[in-house]
Amino acid sequence: MKKVLIIILVLLNIVAWGYIGYVEFGKEWLEQRHNGTIVYFNPETGLICDDYIEENSTTENKSGCLKWYMFNNQEDATTVNLLLAHNTTAQINWSSTISNNTNGDVVNARLKEDVVNWHPNVRATARLIRADEVARIARHRTFNVKTTHINHEDYMGEFWNEKSCTIEDTTGVISNCKYGWLYDRLYSIVDEFEDASCTLVGCLNDPIGGMPTIGYWTSSPTASRDNREDNDVFAWYIWGSGAMSPAFVNCNAVINKIIDARLENGEEISDKEQELYDRTCSPNNTAIGIRPVITISKSILR
């Protein structure tokens, strides 16, 4: 009798955990089924709009009927998260210093400037997307914003791959990417030799006008690494090559500190090394901008 009771308890436990897992899977499916759904919304009036034209998605445009993408919206919530489909600022540092301990003072100050003419109710919700929200979109279950750093085994890597995109065997052309909307209207390469649009790696649309921009900042600094002096010099950003990557929060300040330290130690910096330092802070690595997230009432969509 005792053995039968134990078996029954074990089975009930399995069923219970299975049900919980099923419910959690169902919630996630409901949350993610609308990811990337287009919404046309005017942030100045705070209303849905129907006069969108493609030029409204020009880099650094902040007014008019704009294109947004829904993400991570709970089925029973009364509000909806929207990510703008282009950058309102093309290039900006994340921090005023070499440290990410400033909580993105520079990028957040510019964000406030970018949305200053938006409707007060919309402006009050404007923010940057968080790295953990991006991980949830891409269903990267082991990413942890508190522990994942640039050399961590759970580092995000690329959004586009064989499972989320169509890759032609003969040409290598990448298309139909599940997360292409997440890195829309960006360049994957910006330098003096070549500019390459993100459509080459699966985004939905080429960037329009404005300054070149290869990505947009999240609000999340990278996690610290043990026994490293440069623990706090990176933050996460969305890259036009279809990945979430780390970047220096203030590239020139970081590189200048490295150079100054070497010079103080009596080291000489060769022309080749200086060229490498200069290229480290070229637009190809630093042209990271701002892409606002807003939260609106679901009732507006009806």
Read off the pLDDT of residues 92-147 as tens digits, 9 standing for 90 and up. Answer: 999 999 888 888 999 999 999 999 999 999 999 999 999 999 989 988 877 887 77
User: Tokens 């929200």 correspond to what residue?
Assistant: 133
pLDDT value for 67? 98
Q: What confidence tier does 167 reach under pLDDT thresholds 50, 70, 90?
A: confident
User: Could you write out the DSSP letters of every residue in 271-291?
Assistant: HHHHHHHHHHTSHHHH-EEB-
251-264 and 271-280 helices, crossing angle to 10° = 160
Instruction: For residue 296, give the nearest of 120, 49, 81, 126 by alpha carbon.
Output: 81
pLDDT value for 273? 84
Identify the three-state secondary structure at position 84.
strand
Angle in degrees, CA 230, 234, 236, rounded to 5? 155
What is the model's pTM? 0.83
14 is written with which tokens?
């399995």
48 is written with which tokens?
């849905």
> Do residues 217 and 289 make contact, with C-beta atoms less than 8 angstroms apart?
yes
